[in-house]
């Protein structure tokens, strides 16, 4: 599929497809450590491997020649930092999508300098110290309220993702962007659609493209309503700042603002939710680690949260497109090639992490790549995510130190390492 302005993907100078095939849907439906058995082999033998086109793309492309899988920590960092060679403007996921759709769904995450830098700078400015202070206070308050509702639930049994993990990031997102009560339900529905397009159960016979488009259009509609409200009455939220903000003397368009809303709705919510889900499951499987954490919660919560984020790797992959010839771990990469960074593999790289398969809450330093491998696209919300996770960890595990979980029901996509359901049992207070 040719896309105007994009380099065509080419089969020139490519080796045979790697024998170790990670392109199938069934591969990505496995638990992380099972996938890492395969990545460990790739890290050792084929650090940059040429793979078949991904199965189950949002928009299947008969001309897609495949992709380079980058599995070593050092190579992920190299690709992330070298944004002159590896660009984001031709897509950051497995699919080759038209530019308008890319911007609509991913805003400046799928842009290159100078436009990326201008938008990112503007959005960073909106997170003023005043906003951050306001957010921190709200996080504390909302966390207490959410955990109180669970700890006092007489049934002693909840579905953790829906009743706990999803709530704080969603509330914070809605608060930050001034989403009014009557639009919260629509926002939640569309966020779920935007991240679940590769899950068969969720699709229920519909195509991934249909579900994805409906979700993105729905989020834009919600954003448009908020933009109009904020133009009429300024509030104390980010949307109010964005409608007034200017780049080079020009106001942002409604499309730019709602694309940013769309990016953040997934970036800020599902990732943090996923981290708490995997962390809670791991703590119930490793009571020694839970005891260690609880023995000095305030002092240990910082390193623990960093290990939660490494262990969870909420976003499994992001990709870039090479725009000039280069070499990566001995492989020749040509302009137009898709290069996929597998963060999960980078986070279990035995040359960087001592005993990477050990869930070790005291791990320090912990140079995980869950927020990306550095460079200009490094996660803008890393500190906000850490603050939310620290607050949740403190409140949840001090109020409910004894709990069990059952096998999680995984989302099964090659992008979000999501958990659909996690049964959680505890003794109510
Ligand atoms: C544990 C939670 C989170 C994880 C694991 C995560 C992960 C990531 C990753 C992997 C990237 C892409 C990095 C790259 O391409 O080099 C990213 C970008 C981004 N994240 Fe996060 N994120 C999290 C939470 C958040 C939160 C809470 C926010 C909102 C405030 C946020 C906002 C963003 C934005 C705006 C970008 C785009 C940055 C750019 O392109 O310049 N993220 N995140």
117-129, pLDDT tens digit by residue?
999 999 888 777 7
Report the predicted TM-score, pTM, of the whole model to 2 decimal places: 0.96
Name the closest-CA residue to atom 18, ligand 1: 379
pLDDT for residue 2: 67
In this structure, how many other beta carbons lie within 10 angstroms of the beta carbon of residue 139?
Answer: 22
**The dihedral formed by the CA atoms of 98, 100, 106 and 109, expressed in degrees to the nearest 10:** 80
When pLDDT is cut at 50, 70 and 90, the band that residue 308 belongs to is: very high
pLDDT exceeds cutoff 80 at 12: no
Q: Which of 312, 379, 382, 415 to mutate to test the pocket of ligand 1 (most atoms within 8 A of CB)?
A: 379
- Please check whether residue 48 is in contact with residue 334, taking contact to mean a CB–CB distance below 8 angstroms: no
Task: Using the mean position of ligand 1's atoms as its centre, give its distance from the Cα of residue 109 in Å.
Answer: 9
372 lines ligand 1 (CB under 6 A): yes
Does 172 or 5 have the greater pLDDT score?
172
Residue ID of nearest Cα to ligand 1 atom 11: 379
Position 189 confidence tier, pLDDT thresholds 50, 70, 90? very high
**40 Cβ inside 6 Å of ligand 1:** no
Q: Is the CB of 87 under 6 A from ligand 1?
A: no
Q: Is the CB of 381 under 6 A from ligand 1?
A: yes
User: What average pLDDT does the structure give for the chain?
Assistant: 94
Question: How do residues 318-369 score in pLDDT, each as one tens digit?
Answer: 999 999 999 999 999 999 999 999 999 999 999 999 999 999 999 999 999 9
For 357-414, write each residue's pLDDT tens digit.
999 999 999 999 999 999 999 999 999 999 999 999 999 999 999 999 999 999 988 9
Q: Is the CB of 315 under 6 A from ligand 1?
A: yes
Task: Please tell me the predicted confidence (pLDDT) of residue 129.
Answer: 73
Distance CA 55, CA 66 (A): 10
Q: How high is the pLDDT of residue 388? A: 96
C-alpha to C-alpha distance for 285 and 411, rounded to whole angstroms: 20
Tell me: pLDDT of 5 over 80. no
- Where helices occur in 98-156 by DSSP H, the ranges are 99-106, 115-126, 129-151
Q: Using CA positions, which residue lies closest to atom 17 of ligand 1?
A: 379
Q: What's the pLDDT score for residue 297?
A: 98
Q: What is the pLDDT of residues 242-285, one digit of tens each?
A: 999 998 899 999 999 999 999 999 999 999 999 999 999 999 99
Tokens standing for 402? 């004894």
Q: Give the residue from 56, 39, 57 showing the smallest Cα distance to 48.
A: 39
Map tokens 């104390």 to a residue: 236
Q: 10 Å Cβ neighbour count for 287?
A: 11
* 89, pLDDT greater than 70: yes
Backbone φ and ψ for 25, nearest 5 degrees, come out as -60, -40
Is the pLDDT at 1 greater than 70? The verdict is: no
Answer whether 279 contacts ligand 1 (Cβ < 6 A). no
pLDDT value, residue 426: 97
Q: Specify the pLDDT at position 42.
A: 98
The CA 379 to ligand 1 mean position distance, Å, reads 3
276 lines ligand 1 (CB under 6 A): no
pLDDT of residue 196: 80
11 vs 145 pLDDT, higher one: 145
């Amino acid at each position: 599929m040719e896309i105007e302005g994009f380099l065509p993907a080419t089969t020139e100078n490519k080796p045979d497809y790697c024998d170790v095939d990670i392109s199938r849907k069934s591969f990505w439906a496995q638990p992380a450590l099972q996938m890492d058995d395969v990545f460990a082999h790739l890290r050792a033998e084929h650090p940059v491997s040429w793979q078949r086109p991904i199965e189950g793309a949002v928009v299947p492309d008969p001309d897609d020649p495949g992709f380079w899988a980058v599995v070593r920590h050092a190579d992920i960092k190299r690709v992330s930092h070298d944004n002159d060679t590896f660009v984001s403007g031709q897509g950051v996921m497995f699919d080759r999508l038209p530019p308008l759709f890319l911007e609509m769904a991913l805003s400046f995450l799928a842009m290159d300098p100078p436009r990326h830098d201008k938008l990112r700078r503007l959005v960073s400015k909106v997170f003023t110290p005043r906003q951050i202070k306001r957010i921190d206070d709200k996080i504390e308050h909302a966390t207490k309220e959410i955990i109180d509702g669970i700890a006092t639930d007489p049934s002693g049994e909840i579905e953790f993702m829906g009743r706990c993990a999803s709530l704080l990031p969603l509330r914070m997102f809605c608060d930050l962007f001034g989403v009014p009560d009557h639009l919260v339900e629509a926002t939640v529905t569309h966020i779920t659609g935007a991240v679940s397009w590769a899950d068969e159960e969720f699709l229920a016979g519909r195509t991934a493209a249909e579900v994805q488009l409906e979700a993105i259009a729905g989020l834009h509609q919600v954003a448009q309503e908020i933009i109009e409200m904020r133009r009429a009455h300024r509030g104390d939220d980010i949307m109010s700042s964005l409608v007034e903000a200017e780049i080079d003397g020009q106001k942002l368009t409604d499309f730019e603002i709602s694309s940013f809303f769309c990016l953040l709705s997934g970036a800020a919510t599902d990732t943090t939710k996923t981290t708490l889900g995997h962390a809670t499951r791991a703590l119930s499987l490793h009571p020694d680690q839970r005891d260690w954490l609880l023995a000095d919660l305030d002092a240990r919560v910082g390193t623990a949260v960093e290990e939660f984020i490494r262990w969870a790797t909420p976003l499994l992959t992001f990709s870039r497109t090479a725009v000039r010839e280069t070499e990566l771990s001995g492989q020749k990469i040509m302009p137009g090639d898709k290069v996929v960074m597998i963060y999960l593999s980078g986070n279990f790289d035995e040359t960087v992490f001592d005993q990477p398969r050990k869930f070790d809450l005291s791990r320090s330093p912990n140079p995980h790549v869950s927020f990306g491998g550095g460079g200009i696209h490094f996660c803008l919300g890393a500190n906000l995510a850490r603050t939310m996770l620290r607050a949740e960890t403190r409140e949840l595990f001090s109020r409910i130190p004894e709990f069990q979980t059952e096998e999680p029901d995984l989302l099964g996509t090659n992008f979000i390492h999501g958990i659909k359901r996690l049964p959680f049992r505890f003794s109510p207070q």
